[in-house]
Amino acid sequence: MANFLKRWGVETRLSSAQYPQSNGCAEAAVKTAKRILQNNVGAGGSLDTDKMSFALLQYLNTPLRGVNKSPAQMTISRQLRDGVSTARVNYKINPQWRQTLNKRELQMVRQNEAALDHSGNHYRQRRRLQPGSSVWIQD
């Protein structure tokens, strides 16, 4: 394996030796997940999925120490709806995040248009969906 990695120019390092805090972060995440699971097991040993889902939503909405943002805010730039009431402003998407999403969508459209143009297929231009639009999905 070492020869293969060397031929391909891959440099390896031990992350836990150089960055001991990274291993601690992973261990803390595992501990949190275990705690969520253990606290939501019924008397017979079965998992109460409703309680666990609620606990996961609460975890995703709880700000992390040092970052002062929740995991949900870091990934989708807003809080998720859970059983705890909060101000409506917390559910709004950050304008900067929305710009990033729009740029990604435009880039995907351009890539798809380029692929369709090269294949010779014709397509119909569709209206852009806005957040909150009603849609029909066919399986």
The percent of the chain in helix, strand and coil, each rounded to the nearest 5, is 55, 0, 45
What's this model's pTM, rounded to 2 decimal places?
0.48
Q: Domain spans of the chain? A: 14-92
CA 38 to chain centre: 24
41: β partners = 47
Q: How many residues does the chain have?
A: 139
What is the reported pLDDT for 120? 57
**Residues 69-100: pLDDT tens digits?**
888 888 877 778 777 777 777 667 777 777 88
The answer to whether 23 and 16 are in contact (CB under 8 A) is: yes
Residue 90 exposure: Cα atoms within 13 Å on the Cβ side: 15
**Residues 37-57: pLDDT tens digits?**
888 887 788 888 888 888 888
